[in-house]
Amino acid sequence: MDLHLKDKRAFIAGSSRGLGFATALTLAREGCRVAVNSRDEKKASVAAEKITKETGARAYGLVGDVSGASTANQLIQSAADSLGGLDILITNAGGPPAGPFESFDEADWQRAIDTSFMSHARLIRAALPHLRKSSAPSVLAIASFTVKEPLPNLILSNSVRAATVGLTKSLALDLGREKIRFNAILPGWTLTERVEELMAFRAKNNQTSAEEETAKQTAEIPLGRMAQPQEFANAAAFLVSPAASYIHGVALAVDGGVVKAAL
């Protein structure tokens, strides 16, 4: 199936590793011109070099902390300058720490909001003037399946990621007439560094091992395994592509059936 992504210009936030990197690499394989991002200059450069080496197409590594209030405009402008415009924006940021409600103070909440909610809002706002010039503009927010089924001890993530999906749906309603598509994607349990860190946190709390915690979590997945990052990236690439031109305002769970709700 041709996703019609050749020569589309994509900026993927938080993409030096994990789901963001897998998505950027997949888009490049499909013919996109991509710009990846990390707050660490070396990580951004290494990620771009990996994509360039595998695909033969130049990828750009842009440095900037997406949680910073002054960073979004700079990142988006750099992406548009490097790529010659912008057709696709994928917003993504690392999740806030795990822990119970009373373990977090006001500053913790503000950091979570800035990183996992306001980063999406700021990047989208900065990108809109560029997306309006595109013939097939698309925005995809990476959130989590926990917006549909919250998990214990993830109070910060459960809260702010739900706000991100609310933002995405609202923009789909408000800006759909401008032909800019807005969707969210909700990864489930995927074999990334972030999940490894969460399993280690659980193991410490439960006095078990990370392997035991991973096995317990996997047993709850109807498909009987965690996802590979590539499986998530395939879904993300489809959603931002012209092949998904009538998919707008959805929050797609890529979770192996973990969410039990029918809708």
User: 147 and 200: one domain?
Assistant: no
- Residue numbers of the domain that contains 222: 191-226
User: 84 and 205: one domain?
Assistant: no
User: 64 and 121: one domain?
Assistant: yes
User: 160 and 213: one domain?
Assistant: no
Residue 2 counted as domain residue: no
User: 141 and 52: one domain?
Assistant: yes
Cα angle: 32, vertex 133, 121; to 5 degrees = 80
137-155 per-position pLDDT tens digit: 999 999 999 999 999 989 9
CA distance 48 to 181: 26
Residue 262 banded pLDDT, cuts 50, 70, 90: confident
User: 164 and 213: one domain?
Assistant: no
**What pLDDT score was predicted for residue 98?**
87
Average pLDDT across the chain, whole number? 96
User: 13 and 122: one domain?
Assistant: yes
User: 124 and 29: one domain?
Assistant: yes
Residue 95 banded pLDDT, cuts 50, 70, 90: confident
- CATH number of the domain that 143 lies in? 3.40.50.720
Counted domains in the chain: 2
pLDDT at 198 over 90: no
pTM assigned to the model: 0.95
Amino acid, single-letter form, for residue 156: L
Indicate the length of the chain as a whole number.
263
Residue 262 counted as domain residue: no
Residue 138 counted as domain residue: yes
User: 16 and 140: one domain?
Assistant: yes
**What pLDDT score was predicted for residue 1?**
87
User: 75 and 199: one domain?
Assistant: no
**What pLDDT score was predicted for residue 36?**
99
pLDDT at 94 over 90: no
Residue 3 counted as domain residue: no
Convert the chain into a string of H (helix), E (strand) and C (coil).
Answer: CCCCCCCCEEEECCCCCHHHHHHHHHHHHCCCEEEEEECCHHHHHHHHHHHHHHHCCCCEEEECCCCCCCHHHHHHHHHHHHHCCCCEEEECCCCCCCECHHHCCHHHHHHHHHHHHHHHHHHHHHHHHHHCCCCCCEEEEECCHHHCCCCCCEHHHHHHHHHHHHHHHHHHHHHHHHCCEEEEEEECCECCHHHHHHHHHHHHHHCCCHHHHHHHHHHCCCCCCCECHHHHHHHHHHHHCHHHCCCCCCEEEECCCCCCCCC
Instruction: Say how many C-beta atoms besides its own lie within 10 A of residue 154's C-beta.
Output: 19
Residue 145 counted as domain residue: yes
User: 243 and 181: one domain?
Assistant: yes
pLDDT at 13 over 90: yes
183-195 per-position pLDDT tens digit: 999 999 999 988 8
